[in-house]
A and B are shown apart, each in its own frame.
Chain A
């Protein structure tokens, strides 16, 4: 967290060259495929695809930063999901503390993969799309500029806050406050003293950032122009159609009974 807090990685990969709109269309397709299927083998397709795309786009560092969250979501989901589906098929895990049927195991694995696919897919998008491109892309979809700006800024501030938490944590540690030690409750309580400084540093920045914006002529009511606005080219159309095909194909195959457990 000591390096740049932004999740955007400035590279010149094919994914980076696409417009935000076509990447959003692709993301919708990937999310749909991950959502409509239950079987882990089917859900693995969007998960592995997203992960490979993330690594190729230079997002390995981002994945490492959020790996503990992805890991926790995956493991907890895998443990909890079996109780959310009826048992079925032969018993494949029979231990004194847990007894799982084949259906429960596959269902839990598929659901955990789905969660991971969402996180990794979202990471691919923010790794390959700068804040300005996100705002311009959402604006081109017809959303009000101020709303797009707020969303883009929130996405940029989110990792900044994680960075600020790390800084405050180090400052508190230098004063003898130990964070993240002991049991779960003790760990949670140790984070409380970080809350107010992190919160206030974020709020304090509102004044300076607002002044900086207004000094540069920020006005939400006028029509916006964007520096380096990209045209929606052939590659964008191809990716958008691919995203659409993923949606239609995924829903269609699911309705036909494929990919279920």
Chain B
């Protein structure tokens, strides 16, 4: 996870944080009017960006997604106490992709995410990445609003997972197909921009084990959180986020479950590696070093 901090040493990574945040916010805000839960969430086609940018810009996309969501909250009129959890949740939305790609064993395509070769296997791998990224973001935000006593976990857990997954899964592959080779030729993939010593050095076995761990914790957290809401708190499954469930959060079981899950997730993230740097062709790296972007 050290790349999360070391990336701030590089000017281009800092600029990529700003670009990711600006693009994310610029597409989030016009759609704030298409409300799902007023003041909380809306239809968000922009949710494709954290996952796609995460695969290209790595840690810069994680920070950019977090900042972009915050800017979107301010200028979209949805700023509130939940925005802090939105910041953390969206950070993980951009963070998960580059951690998982290539580390999912049999589910991995073994090639970089440009959808030029092994397209079918890339689609499967991308779908898993999008699902895990959506689930972890939903879990963090739903847990946050539960902690704040606003909504039961199941309401936001389901809405945010589906909302994130739809945009990321449907729009992601064509966008990567169109954009990835261009960004690669500019030498702006994080694997090209960051120095090798700034990237995590973790063995393949541990990388894969932790990728599985992040996948399991993310999905189990969302499923268990929804189950606790429905089974223990008595919230109807698929309950619309209407007045009867508003301010019904604050379950101790949910708070403890989330605290444990988040701690485990954080520790695993800190120990994780990434495989994309091994998939980047040496020729691309050479171009980047020479500064031949155009």
Contact = CB atoms under 8 A, between A and B. Distances in A.
A199 B179 contact: yes
Contact of A161 (B23, B33, B291): B23
Nearest to A86: B243
A147 B111 CA distance: 32
A149 interface: yes
B64 to A, nearest CB: 8
Contacts of B214: none
A78 to B, nearest CB: 9
Contacts of A214: 11
Contacts of A199: 23, 179
A153 B15 contact: yes
Interface string B33-57: 1110111000001000000000000
A245 interface: no
Contacts of B71: 154-155, 158
Interface in A217-261: 218, 220-221
Interface in A43-73: 66, 69-70, 72-73
A140 interface: no
Nearest to A104: B243
Nearest to B74: A122
Interface stretch (A10-18, A90-98, A108-116, A167-175): A108-116
Given A69-B33, A153-B15, A206 B246 contact: no
Nearest to A82: B243
Q: Give the dominant DSSP class at B's interface.
A: helix
B12 A206 contact: yes
Given A150-B17, A157-B18, A209-B15, A202 B77 contact: no
A151 B77 contact: no
A115 B75 CA distance: 9
Contacts of B34: 76
B19 A73 contact: no
A150 B63 contact: yes
A114 B11 contact: no
Interface stretch (B180-188, B199-207, B256-264): B180-188
Contact of B188 (A144, A158, A207, A213): A207
Contacts of B241: 84
A85 B8 contact: no
A154 B17 contact: yes
B282 interface: no
B35 A119 contact: no
B25, B32, B188: residue with the most chain A Cβ atoms closer than 10 Å: B32
Contacts of B255: none
A117 B30 CA distance: 17
A168 to B, nearest CB: 13
A202 B19 contact: yes
B127 interface: no
A150 B57 CA distance: 15
Interface residues of A, number: 58
Interface in B279-294: 291, 293-294
A66 B29 CA distance: 10
B148 interface: no
B250 to A, nearest CB: 18
B67 interface: yes
A147 B77 CA distance: 23
Contacts of A204: 186, 293-294
B25 A77 contact: no
B77 A196 contact: no
A118 B21 CA distance: 19
B138 to A, nearest CB: 20
A37 interface: no
A157 B26 CA distance: 9
Contact of A73 (B22, B64, B77): B77
Nearest to A85: B243
Given A151-B67, A210-B15, A76 B39 contact: no
A77 B38 CA distance: 6
Considering residues B11, B12, B68, which has the most beta carbons from chain A within 10 angstroms of its beta carbon? B11
Contacts of B21: 150-151, 154, 157-158
Contacts of A72: 32-33
Contacts of B30: 69
A80 B243 CA distance: 12
Given A86-B244, A122-B74, A196-B178, A77 B12 contact: no
6 contacts: A75-B33, A115-B77, A119-B77, A206-B15, A207-B186, A213-B11
Given A122-B79, A149-B18, 11 more contacts: A69-B32, A77-B39, A83-B243, A85-B246, A118-B78, A150-B21, A150-B64, A150-B67, A205-B19, A207-B294, A210-B11
Interface of A: 31, 35, 66, 69-70, 72-73, 75-77, 80-81, 83-86, 111, 114-119, 122-123, 144, 146-147, 149-151, 153-155, 157-158, 160-162, 165, 188, 195-196, 199-200, 202-207, 209-210, 213-214, 218, 220-221
